[in-house]
Amino acid sequence: MSNAVYPGSFDPFTNGHLDITQRGAAIFDELLVAVLLNDSKNAMFSVEERVTMAREATVHLPNVKVLSFDGLLVDFMRKERSRVILRGLRALSDFEYEFQLAQMNKQLAPEMETFFMVTDAKYSYLSSRGVKEVFGFGGAIHEFVPPGVFRRMRERVRPRGM
């Protein structure tokens, strides 16, 4: 049985993430969306909220599971008995970072393989950061995120520092 882990910050989970998750779930028997507990990134949502939003958005996908993790991705993957890291690629600007990350993970754990899925053109401009920026300036974000994420973002008064 094939399985893969799709790791990220998902702060918040966007329609671009959902697209990669759906397409990944159609390729692998099981796909684990792994939400990174990352204190160094100034997250808008707690890791619990990010997990809940990703779960809500993927509830229609029976072979997708959402969990959080802390520390090294490769340690988490060993624990979850997975050898495939799934990542999405938007523009050339993603490539350098993703390339470094994939090589670093290969050094740390040679048995792991990183698979890249190219974004659907309609999501190529979409990032969690962009969504937060547009939201911070009062712009409409409902086209960019799943309904549950939209609801939670609206429940927030305009976040401080944005």
Please, what is the minimum distance in Å from the beta carbon of residue 153 to ligand ADP?
A: 15
N-terminal to C-terminal alpha carbon distance within the chain: 44
List the one residue from 3, 63, 68, 127 that touches ligand ADP (CB under 6 A): 127
In the set 23, 55, 78, 90, the catalytic residue is: 90
Active site residue 2: no
Q: How far is the CB of 14 from ligand ADP (least distance, A)?
A: 6
| Cα(157)–Cα(33) distance, integer angstroms | 28
| DSSP code string of 103-148 | HHHHHH-TT-EEEEEEPPGGGTT--HHHHHHHHHTT---TTTS-HH
Taking CB under 6 A as the binding criterion, the range among 13-21, 50-58, 76-84, 137-145 that sits at the site for ligand ADP is: 13-21
Summarize as ranges the residues that interact with ligand ADP (CB under 6 A): 8-10, 14, 16-17, 20, 87-88, 90, 94, 119, 123, 126-128
